[in-house]
């Protein structure tokens, strides 16, 4: 079993979006294809053959090429691309029924119009999977595509049946190559992993609880990757144990198991990478004990461990077992990391939604005397009071905080923030002499950021003379012990002052908050929150739209678009909420 990731494809390796060139003389059609592809790829559009040859380059990974175009047909464009020896995959598409002249074209895939979004996206995704294949294998796949396309036509319409038979014979001969057999088997596995990712993306939309999500992911591991058994469990740092949430391919429930620091589960979680292990060689570890409990009578020879790390407090793991040995390529491992990220993001969203909607939440009060938090350090250094007025996530990494600082010179405050390692930038929004309101862009060095990474909602932070007090809300099912352990790894001097279970009434503000959560997009919520915190709605305005857009890392027109839509939705919610009150009685 191949297990270790290569240096080039480690967890932190930068991954740029593949570049796809869309070529069609019909601008509306070309723009439609581009719109379909733009979510996943960097798309370049050309409205004809000459423009395509100007735009194609070594940076292009795949070309979607219309065959029937005036002035320069797709056949000639394809020939010119091949003459340049550009290493890009080409999918041709046309409304004309294919014929035996296809055998002379060096395309990689062929589509016949009309096509749906799934056809276009699917063929590009599949072409990109072939990029690292041997030339012999790519030639075989091209021959196979040509043969498959011609076989789909009525034999009576084929002008040169012998040419078609020749292509079929060449494809069958190429299939006997050991290189082709090995790489096509790897390609099929990679296709299965990609289908798993697509299925997970669809599944996360339909579930509203961690349990339902875990069940879906476990079932998909057995359905899409054909593993015999699969488990999804939550790892708790406080107990060093894995608590199974869902099992597929086996009846019954599983009890929790302890996870050794050097075992496969902890290693996968700590390194953030999927790995294959032999259950037989790990009988004393969690994977081995789970194997015995799950399927003692089966000869399970492979266990795949996929970590689900999201932010600091969400640590789940998928373990899947198979009776046959298998390998794990770097590209499969990369896609499985994306699966883990997708599931972790969904769990975070579920916990955030529960925090808004649940009748019962947990409130913690923490005391912080750790100077590594720059808010606490600011209050201690300048003997002042620092109070958090608002916070929201930046469009990139980190957060934007709005704080009032009392009884400290503004110049001293700004100099302190400029020297703080975790602060990317700060600006004064309102200066009233003894009280100053400051916007800070933060990527590290604050317990506020740490708490937001644990799906908590910070409702209060006040720091006086080096002692900070925070109030945080959590969904009732969040593992608070793990949260505190995670926080104390970076901020040791944090004490739990109190913990309260709070019952909330939804005839109040929380009902309105739930409505907002379900109506505003995440970007709209971020923009309107930032505008309010930065004094954009005050008169005179304390911040311009350009300043807010810069703090969010987005273009001013984009910020204005999100702000206008958020304002419209807020008005609609207000009018709906008051429709049975004063307006109706008026």
Task: Say what the pLDDT of residue 312 is.
Answer: 63
Same domain for 221 and 75, yes or no, is no
Output the pTM of the full model. Answer: 0.64
Residue 182 lies in a domain: no
3-state DSSP assignment of residue 438? strand
Task: Say what the pLDDT of residue 323 is.
Answer: 85
Q: Is 152 left (phi over 0), alpha (psi -120 to 50) or beta?
A: alpha
Query: In which residue ranges of the chain is pLDDT below 70?
Result: 1-15, 100, 154, 238, 252, 284, 295-298, 311-313, 355-358, 395-396, 504-518, 576-586
Same domain for 248 and 277, yes or no, is yes
Same domain for 377 and 496, yes or no, is yes
Which of 31, 36, 40, 33 shows the shortest CA–CA distance to 61? 40
Q: How many residues does the chain have?
A: 586
Task: Say what the pLDDT of residue 409 is.
Answer: 93
Q: For the domain that residue 197 is a member of, what is the CATH number?
A: 3.30.450.40
Same domain for 11 and 94, yes or no, is yes
Query: Among 144, 175, 206, which residue terminates a domain?
Result: 175
Q: How far apart are CA 113 and CA 139, in angstroms?
A: 24
Same domain for 265 and 210, yes or no, is yes
Residue 2 lies in a domain: no
CB 184 within 8 A of CB 138: no
| Residues pairing with 43 in the sheet | 20
pLDDT tens by residue, 55-100: 999 999 999 999 889 889 988 999 999 999 888 999 999 887 777 6
Q: How far apart are CA 433 and CA 425, in angstroms?
A: 21
How many CB atoms sit inside 10 A of residue 446's CB? 28
Cα 216 to Cα 154, 168, 200, 348, 425, distances in angstroms: 42, 41, 8, 16, 42
CA 109, 115, 119, 125 torsion-angle sign:
positive
Q: How far apart are CA 211 and CA 300, in angstroms?
A: 26
CB 379 within 8 A of CB 464: yes
CB 221 within 8 A of CB 318: yes
Tokens of 422: 């975790």
How many CB atoms sit inside 10 A of residue 512's CB? 13
Task: Say what the pLDDT of residue 453 is.
Answer: 77
Q: For the domain that residue 106 is a member of, what is the CATH number?
A: 3.40.50.2300
CB 120 within 8 A of CB 33: yes
Same domain for 49 and 119, yes or no, is yes
Residue 522 lies in a domain: yes
Tokens of 306: 């996929």
Same domain for 364 and 333, yes or no, is no
CB 327 within 8 A of CB 464: no
Task: Say what the pLDDT of residue 2 is.
Answer: 44
Q: How far apart are CA 25 and CA 160, in angstroms?
A: 29
Q: How far apart are CA 581 and CA 575, in angstroms?
A: 10
Residue 316 lies in a domain: yes
Residue 180 lies in a domain: no
Task: Say what the pLDDT of residue 505 is.
Answer: 53
Q: State the number of CA atoms in the 13 A half-sphere of 224 facing the CB.
A: 19
Same domain for 211 and 262, yes or no, is yes
Same domain for 252 and 218, yes or no, is yes
pLDDT tens by residue, 527-542: 888 888 888 888 778 8
Residue 181 lies in a domain: no
What's the structural domain count of the chain? 4
Same domain for 37 and 113, yes or no, is yes
Task: Say what the pLDDT of residue 443 is.
Answer: 87
CA 211, 216, 222, 226 torsion-angle sign:
negative
Same domain for 394 and 437, yes or no, is yes
Residue 66 lies in a domain: yes
Task: Say what the pLDDT of residue 433 is.
Answer: 85
Task: Say what the pLDDT of residue 326 is.
Answer: 77
Residue 447 lies in a domain: yes
Same domain for 92 and 112, yes or no, is yes
Q: For the domain that residue 536 is a member of, what is the CATH number?
A: 1.10.10
- Tell me the residue range of the domain where 374 lies: 360-503
Burial-class residue 296 by CB neighbours within 10 Å (0-12, 13-18, 19+): exposed
Query: Among 356, 384, 414, which residue terminates a domain?
Result: 356
Query: Among 448, 481, 503, which residue terminates a domain?
Result: 503
């Amino acid at each position: 079993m191949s297990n270790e990731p290569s240096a080039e494809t480690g967890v932190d390796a930068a991954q740029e979006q593949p570049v796809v060139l869309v070529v069609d003389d019909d601008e509306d059609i070309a723009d439609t294809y581009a719109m379909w592809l733009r979510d996943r790829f960097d798309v370049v559009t050309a409205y004809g053959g000459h423009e395509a040859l100007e735009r194609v380059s070594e940076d292009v990974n795949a070309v979607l090429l219309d065959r029937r175009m005036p002035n320069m047909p797709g056949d000639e464009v394809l020939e010119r691309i091949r003459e340049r020896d550009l290493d890009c995959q080409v999918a041709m598409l046309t409304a004309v029924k294919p014929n035996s002249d296809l055998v002379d074209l060096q395309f990689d895939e062929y589509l016949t119009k009309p096509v749906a979004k799934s056809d276009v996206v699917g063929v590009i995704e599949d072409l990109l999977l072939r990029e690292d294949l041997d030339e012999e294998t790519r030639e075989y796949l091209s021959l196979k595509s040509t043969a498959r396309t011609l076989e789909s036509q009525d034999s009576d319409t084929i002008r040169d049946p012998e040419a078609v038979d020749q292509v079929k014979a060449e494809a069958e001969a190429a299939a006997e190559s050991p290189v082709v057999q090995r790489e096509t088997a790897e390609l099929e596995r990679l296709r299965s992993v990609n289908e798993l990712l697509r299925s997970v993306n669809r599944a996360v939309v339909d579930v509203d609880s961690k349990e339902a999500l875990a069940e879906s992911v476990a079932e998909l591991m057995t359905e899409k990757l054909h593993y015999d058994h699969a488990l999804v469990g939550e790892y708790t740092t406080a107990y060093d144990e894995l608590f199974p949430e869902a099992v597929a391919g086996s009846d019954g429930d599983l009890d929790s198991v302890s996870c050794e620091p050097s075992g496969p589960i902890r290693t996968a979680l700590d390194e953030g990478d999927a790995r294959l292990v032999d259950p037989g060689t790990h009988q004393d570890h969690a994977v081995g004990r789970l194997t015995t409990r799950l399927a003692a009578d089966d000869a399970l020879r492979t266990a795949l461990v996929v970590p689900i790390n999201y932010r600091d407090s969400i640590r789940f793991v998928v373990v899947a077992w198979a009776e046959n040995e298998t390998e794990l390529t770097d590209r499969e491992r990369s896609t499985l990391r994306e699966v883990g990220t997708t599931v972790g993001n969904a769990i975070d969203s579920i916990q955030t939604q529960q925090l808004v909607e649940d009748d019962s939440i947990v409130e913690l009060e923490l005391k912080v005397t750790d100077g590594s938090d720059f808010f606490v350090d600011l209050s201690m250094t300048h003997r002042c009071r620092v109070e958090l007025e608002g916070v929201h996530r930046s469009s990139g990494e980190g957060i934007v905080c709005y704080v009032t600082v009392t009884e400290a010179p503004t110049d001293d405050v700004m100099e302190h923030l400029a020297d703080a390692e975790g602060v990317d930038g700060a600006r004064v929004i309102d200066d009233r002499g003894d009280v100053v309101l400051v916007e800070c862009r933060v990527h590290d060095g604050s317990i506020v950021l740490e708490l937001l990474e644990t799906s908590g909602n910070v409702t209060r932070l006040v720091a006086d003379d080096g002692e900070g007090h925070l109030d945080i809300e959590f969904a009732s099912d969040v593992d608070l012990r793990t949260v505190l352990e995670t926080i104390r790894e970076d901020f040791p001097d944090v004490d739990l002052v109190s913990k309260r279970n709070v019952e909330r009434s939804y005839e109040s503000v929380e009902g309105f908050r739930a409505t907002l959560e379900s109506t505003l997009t995440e970007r709209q919520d971020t923009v309107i929150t930032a505008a309010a915190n930065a004094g954009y709605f005050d008169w005179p305005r304390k911040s311009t739209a350009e300043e807010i857009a810069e703090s969010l890392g987005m273009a001013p027109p984009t910020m204005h678009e999100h702000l206008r839509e958020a304002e419209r939705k807020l008005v609609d919610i207000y009018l709906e909420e008051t429709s049975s009150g004063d307006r109706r009685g008026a």
